[in-house]
Amino acid sequence: FKEFKAQSVSEFFKKNAAMLGYTGKIRSLTTIVHEGVTNSLDACEEAGILPEISVWVEELGTEHYRVTMEDNASGIPLEYVPQVFGRMLAGSKAHRNIQSRGQQGIGVSGAVMFSQVTTGKPTSFLTSTGDTHIVKGRVQLDVKRNLGEIVDKEKLHNTSGWRGTVIAHEAKGVLYNKSRYSPYNYLRMTSIANPHARITFIEPDGTRILFERSTTLVPKPPKAIKPHPYGITPDDLLTMASNTDAKKLGAFLEKEFVRISSAKAEEIASLSGVSLAQQPARLSWDDAERVVNAFKATKFFAPPTEGLRPIGGEEIAKSLTSTLSPEFTQTITRAPQTFRGGILFVVEAGLAYGGKAGKGGIEIIRYANRAPLIFDQGGCAITEAVKSVDWKRYGVRDVEKVPLTVFVNIVSTHVPYTSAGKQALAMEEEIHAEVRYALMDCGRALSRFLAGKRKLYERRSK
Amino acid sequence: FKEFKAQSVSEFFKKNAAMLGYTGKIRSLTTIVHEGVTNSLDACEEAGILPEISVWVEELGTEHYRVTMEDNASGIPLEYVPQVFGRMLAGSKAHRNIQSRGQQGIGVSGAVMFSQVTTGKPTSFLTSTGDTHIVKGRVQLDVKRNLGEIVDKEKLHNTSGWRGTVIAHEAKGVLYNKSRYSPYNYLRMTSIANPHARITFIEPDGTRILFERSTTLVPKPPKAIKPHPYGITPDDLLTMASNTDAKKLGAFLEKEFVRISSAKAEEIASLSGVSLAQQPARLSWDDAERVVNAFKATKFFAPPTEGLRPIGGEEIAKSLTSTLSPEFTQTITRAPQTFRGGILFVVEAGLAYGGKAGKGGIEIIRYANRAPLIFDQGGCAITEAVKSVDWKRYGVRDVEKVPLTVFVNIVSTHVPYTSAGKQALAMEEEIHAEVRYALMDCGRALSRFLAGKRKLYERRSK
Ligand SMILES: Nc1ncnc2c1ncn2[C@@H]1O[C@H](COP(=O)(O)OP(=O)(O)OP(=O)(O)O)[C@@H](O)[C@H]1O
Ligand SMILES: Nc1ncnc2c1ncn2[C@@H]1O[C@H](COP(=O)(O)OP(=O)(O)OP(=O)(O)O)[C@@H](O)[C@H]1O
Ligand SMILES: [Mg+2]
Ligand SMILES: [Mg+2]
């Protein structure tokens, strides 16, 4: 045991950078873009701002690039800069029950780490919250202590009242191309699911590509949603009880959960045998188990719909039509459900048949909280759910050749990813079932369309 | 930014327990067994002890089990018990360049956390380093602070001089069955790759299964291996330079790397233009880049073979034959190579054709450092490498029906996993290439065998 040592979370992710998506030259570059763009979209949406995002990739040498990203979001107060850019597991989203693309507090610090480790250089930033000055500087990450350090900074006069953030990462051992895994396709997929964002992309050869917004409707800022009693575990209940400021169990149940009225709280008390006057912080494990069992025996309304922001069936159909020119599309947004821990989620799906749909067989397009999942398709529960559908029943003769694109978007206050790289969903039974129902629902419409097409074909050939 | 907060690494993995393998009822139970057994095997091997491991799974209620694991390893000194069982990112393996099944310092703390979160109960332990007393107690994990706490303990007289560790986790929301993903199959696969271990398994219905050892040869304890200059990055060099006690660059190069003699160090100095008298801690990024470029331009002997412990072609063939009774087997152990960071690895592979081989098409059996990879086959680089081989060239007509089992084991001082659950390898070009070469080599032998078989068949049917 003389060798026994602890390490910091940054040391762990530096050694295991593949877990954050920094594996392979093309994916590493796209991951840097992904971390910046998801943060910008989240910050814009939270502040109710129509996103103007630009991404500029410059080639500085062989496998040596600089990625500069600018947004018009809320800006980052100077005192938070070291934590935002240099401290893993620190952020504004991880501990809140809110739909957002980020949820770990690791993303941008990971990009700072990767570029620092490959070039020895800090990350440059420029940010303002819209007040009288703009802060410009460079920041790096102290891996051993998991802390951010501002290397240098200066304050500039903010004459135009600019608000937003610009980040520039320099990285080596990365590569730009226009494959399915490149920054170009990532931004295209991002604009499909975020019709309110205008994204400008400048490629290394100087080509400017504008992904114009197709709606000026700003999605209502996501709202923190309380957990629903279904799916709560005794440990969740105890953790919530230790963090609440409600003095009694009754008030705690009504305040911290959705769908629990005072009448419902009474019902729970009588079913569980735990008094509503009990102080939440003094609940025992047995009490918690009894309350949770009472939840399971009680009828609650379904989770509310206003907290989550799906893309919407119409928007999905519009996007599928404009990118694939299919003969047939069908979309669906299912009702909210819950999985482990009372976590709300909504599944929406779409099918596109014919035109440019399919890639020599079924093509799967996956999103989580409107962020595209480009990598790790093989290890994703969405892929498994798509494969588990018996497509033959819906008129698909050969899954290896059919011109069919399957679109799935999961929105939730906590997306269960398989790894910190956030590109694949872990298997949760409730999510798997919902994806299947959504696809089978669309499948039935597809089967009617294909039957009609076949009839038409047979009539003509008679 | 009023909501900005940091969280501990245990809070992160509690919320994202799926990243540690606690997803689904069957997998969660097997993951608890996996964490305990890999630790026991590691501890036995490090101490040069022939492993005697027993695993006992008891059903206490519906989806409520207790898993008790005992080993005859070195035991855990009392002062380390809180860190071993209750602190994530603390251990004896993460910071050493040594082949071991564990490498993150998270495993057993994850199992403590999962069982505590599902039952509210601490984990029981019994341990002795072989001295006069045995410590018995219970330990839990303080999630907010990522610290272990001994709930209660007592010291017992160690009359028999017993040495080892017993751990008992109680967990809910888990399930025992005998599928491919169950503890039973996990232990069977473990015993195939660890012929020196005797593993006793007691099922919930009381059935005792003995996986007897097939060799009494204790593998030589793994040795810490220094990195090889190929694959080193400037950041690696600077990190090593800041941790070395060598006073000059020359001594640093000779001491901290394999295959660098004083003559080689001279060559590197003249190629890079960096003086050997330079103090390692004062190397700049530019110096480091020049030295690394000089490494790339220098010829070094291949990495040494004595540090890594592959299973061995003979043992693999023996195991494949005894479990699958195939008509044909072919195995290979490739020479050591390096990937990113100068990390040594060896690929060994085997094919088994006929008999019980294959599962309605190619079956893949994966190992890393002799630990079976049961889950996440879809997202693993080994699977991709197996699929990338053109099996038709080796006489395999139909990959969906062929009775072929492909066995791959990767040994390394650092296995690049895709997530902290350690069940799938991330894509590293060098590893992917080596797996392909190993399989193509075995494939050539298979193709000769199948051609022979066909000739025989044709001769007979004339
Ligand atoms: N462009 C930005 N504008 C405003 N705030 C930002 C911006 N980028 C990051 N932040 C803030 O910094 C925090 C840390 O960002 P980071 O990407 O590390 O984590 P995250 O987005 O919370 O989660 P994840 O690790 O899943 O991405 C965010 O939570 C947010 O509060
Ligand atoms: N049965 C055991 N006997 C002796 N020492 C043990 C035993 N189990 C754990 N340890 C010690 O406790 C440490 C922590 O174990 P843990 O499983 O958390 O991490 P690890 O094995 O180092 O890495 P990983 O997270 O990859 O499993 C180990 O590094 C080892 O030093
Ligand atoms: Mg983020
Ligand atoms: Mg371990």
Residue pLDDT, tens place only, A150-170: 999 999 999 999 999 999 999
Ligand 2: which atom is nearest the Cα of residue B422?
Answer: 26
Distance CA A168, CA A172 (A): 14
DSSP one-letter string for A43-110: HHHHTT---EEEEEEEEEETTEEEEEEEE-S----GGGHHHHHH-TTEESSTTS----S--SS-HHHH
Instruction: Name the β-bridge partners of B152.
Output: B138
Given a contact cutoff of 8 angstroms between Cβ atoms, the answer to whether B44 and A121 are in contact is: no
What residues of B are in contact with residue A117 (Cβ under 8 Å)? 233, 235
Alpha-carbon distance of B335 to B341, in angstroms, equals: 18
Q: Tokens in use for B130? A: 């072989």
Cα-atom radius of gyration of chain A, to the nearest Å?
24
Mutate which of A42, A99, A103 to test ligand 1's pocket (most atoms within 8 Å of Cβ)?
A42
Calculate how far, in angstroms, residue A103's C-alpha sits from the geometric centre of ligand 1. Answer: 8
Contact A1 B376 (CB under 8 A): no
Give every CB contact of residue A158 below 8 A, 6+ residues apart in sequence.
A128, A130, A131, A132, A133, A134
For residue A47, the number of C-alpha atoms closer than 13 Å in the C-beta half-sphere is: 19
Q: How many CB atoms lie within 10 A of CB B97?
A: 17
Say which of B23, B414, B427 has its CB closest to residue A427: B23
Nearest ligand 2 atom, CA B88: 18
A84, A96, A124, A126: which to mutate for ligand 1, most atoms within 8 A of CB? Answer: A84
B90–A7 C-beta distance less than 8 A: yes
Distance from CA of A68 to the nearest CA of B (A): 23
Cα of B107 vs centre of ligand 4, distance in Å, is 4
pLDDT below 50 — which residues of chain A? none
DSSP strands (E only) in B183-288: 198-202, 208-211
pLDDT at B341: 79
| Strand pairing report for B52-61 and B64-71 | antiparallel
Rounded CA gap, A270 and A280, in Å?
17
pLDDT of A102 = 97
pLDDT at residue A214 in the model: 85
How open is the CA angle A350-A355-A357, to the nearest 5 degrees? Answer: 45
Residues of B within 8 A of A296 (CB-CB) are none
Contact A240, A306 (CB under 8 A): no
Q: How many CB atoms lie within 10 A of CB A98?
A: 20
Q: How many CB atoms lie within 10 A of CB A398?
A: 9
Partner-chain contact B7 A95, CB within 8 Å: yes
What is residue B304's predicted lDDT score, i.e. its pLDDT?
A: 84
Please say whether the beta carbons of B44 and B108 come within 8 A.
Answer: no
Residues 6 or more apart whose CB falls under 8 angstroms from that of A378 comprise: B378, B379, B383, B384
Domains along the sequence of chain A with CATH: 9-211 (3.30.565.10), 234-297 (1.10.8.50), 313-461 (3.30.230.10)
Residues in chain B closer than 8 A to A76 (CB atoms):
1
Amino acid at A53: I
User: Among partner residues B19, B233, B235, which is closest to A420 by beta-carbon distance?
Assistant: B19
Atom of ligand 2 nearest to the CA of B92: 29
Backbone angles phi, psi at A85, to 5 degrees: -95, -15
Which of A13, A23, A25 should one mutate to test binding to chain B, selecting the residue with the greatest count of B CBs within 10 A? A23
Q: Is B71 in the pocket of ligand 2 (CB under 6 A)?
A: yes
> Which residue in A94, A116, A418 is closest to B19 by CB distance?
A418
The verdict on a CB contact (< 8 Å) between B4 and A83 is: yes
- Which residues have CB under 6 Å of ligand 1? A 35, 39-40, 43, 71, 73-74, 76, 84, 91-93, 102-109, 165; B 4
Of B5, B80, B417, the CB nearest to A95: B5
Residues A325-358 as b/e (b if ≥16 CB within 10 A, e otherwise) read ebebbbbbbbebbbbbbbbbbbbbbbbbbbbebb
Centre of ligand 1 to C-alpha B190, Å, is 42
Q: CA B412 to CA B337: how far, in whole Å? A: 10
Alpha helix ranges (H) inside B59-182: 81-86, 107-119
Ligand 2 within 6 A of B123 CB?
no
B71, β-bridge pairs: B165
CB within 8 A of B453, min separation 6: which ones?
none
Within 10 angstroms of residue A245's Cβ, the number of other Cβ atoms is: 9
pLDDT of residue B386: 97
Compute the C-alpha angle A164/A168/A174, nearest 5°: 140
Q: Which atom of ligand 1 is nearest to the CA of A164?
A: 3
Cβ–Cβ below 8 Å for B23 and A379: no
Choose the residue to mutate in A108, A134, A141, A165 for probing ligand 1, maximizing ligand atoms within 8 Å of C-beta.
A108
- In chain A, what residues touch B291 (CB-CB under 8 Å)? none
**Residue-wise pLDDT tens for chain B (462 aa)?**
888 999 999 999 999 999 999 999 999 999 999 999 999 999 999 999 999 999 999 999 999 999 999 999 999 999 999 999 999 999 999 999 999 999 999 999 999 999 999 999 999 999 999 999 999 999 999 999 999 999 999 999 999 999 999 999 999 999 999 999 999 999 999 998 998 999 999 999 999 999 999 889 888 888 888 999 998 999 999 999 999 999 999 999 999 999 999 999 999 999 999 999 999 999 999 999 999 999 999 999 988 878 899 999 998 999 899 889 999 999 999 999 999 878 999 999 999 999 999 988 999 999 999 999 999 999 999 999 999 999 999 999 999 999 999 999 999 999 999 999 999 999 999 999 999 999 999 999 999 999 998 888 888 877
For ligand 2, mutation pick of B22, B84, B147, B162 (most atoms within 8 Å of CB): B84
Which residues on chain A are in Cβ contact (under 8 Å) with B5? 90-92, 94-95
Strand partners, A408: A349, A366
Ligand 2 close to Cβ of residue B106 (< 6 A): yes
* Backbone torsions φ then ψ of B419, nearest 5 degrees: -155, 170
The nearest alpha carbon in chain B to A287 belongs to B120
Q: Which atom of ligand 2 is nearest to the CA of B102?
A: 26
Q: What is the pLDDT of residue B458?
A: 84
Mutant choice from B235, B340, B413, B414 vs A, greatest count of A C-beta within 10 A: B235
Residue of the CA atom closest to atom 9 of ligand 1: A39
Question: What is the residue with the minimal CA distance to atom 7 of ligand 2?
Answer: B39
Instruction: Considering every ligand atom shown, identify the ligand nearest to the alpha carbon of residue A91 and give its number.
Output: 1
Please work out whether the CB of residue B129 comes within 6 Å of at least one atom of ligand 2.
no
Residue A310: per-residue pLDDT:
92
- DSSP class of A283: -
Which residue has the least CA distance to atom 13 on ligand 2?
A: B91
* pLDDT attached to residue A219: 84
pLDDT at res. A64: 98
Residue B6 has φ and ψ, to the nearest 5°, of -100, 155
Q: Which of A295, A66, A55, A289 is nearest to A183 (CA)?
A: A55
Ligand 4: distance of its center to the CA of B39 in Å? 5
Alpha-carbon distance of A452 to A392, in angstroms, equals 16
Pocket test for ligand 2, best of B85, B108, B124 (most atoms within 8 A of CB): B108
Chain-centroid distance of CA A88 in Å reads 18
What's the pLDDT score for residue B2? 83
Whether B23 and A414 lie within 8 Å, measured CB to CB: no
Sign of the CA dihedral with B430 first, then B432, B435, and B438 last: negative
The reported pLDDT for the residue numbered B360 is 83
- pLDDT tens, position by position, B415-450: 999 999 999 999 999 999 999 999 999 999 999 999
> Which structure tokens are listed for A51?
């996103």
Q: Please tell me what DSSP assigns to residue A336.
A: P
Distances (CA, A) of B450 to B215, B327, B353, B403: 32, 10, 9, 12
Q: Which residues of A touch B105 (CB under 8 A)?
A: 6-7
Of A92, A104, A119, the CB nearest to B12: A104
Please compute Rg for chain B using Cα positions: 24
Considering only CA atoms, which of A82, A83, A168, A163 is closest in space to residue A128?
A: A163
| Rounded Cα distance, B43 and B167, in Å | 14
SS3 B312: coil
Q: Looking at the partner chain, which of B76, B288, B424 has a beta carbon nearest the beta carbon of A379?
A: B424
pLDDT for res A250: 97
pLDDT tens readout for residues B226-243? 999 998 999 999 999 999
Q: Is B369 in the pocket of ligand 2 (CB under 6 A)?
A: no
Spatial contact of B305 and B336, defined as CB atoms under 8 Å apart? yes
- B15 and A376: CB-CB below 8 Å? no
Three-class secondary structure of residue B133 per DSSP:
strand
**Which strands sit side by side in the sheet containing A64-71, from one edge to the other?**
A147-157, A133-142, A123-129, A163-172, A64-71, A52-61, A198-202, A208-211
For residues A209 and A200, what is the distance between their CA atoms, to the nearest angstrom? 6
Contact in structure between B435 and B337 (CB atoms under 8 Å):
no
How far, in Å, are A130, B156, B324 from residue B2 at the CA level?
Answer: 17, 52, 61
Contact criterion met (CB < 8 Å) for B12 and A94: yes
> Residues B278, B248: contact at Cβ < 8 Å?
yes
Amino acid in the structure at residue A164: G
Does B73 sit in the ligand 2 pocket, CB within 6 Å? yes
Q: The tokens 């369309």 sit on which residue?
A: A449
CA torsion sign for B416, B421, B422, B426 is: negative
* Pairing label, strands B208-211, B163-172: unpaired
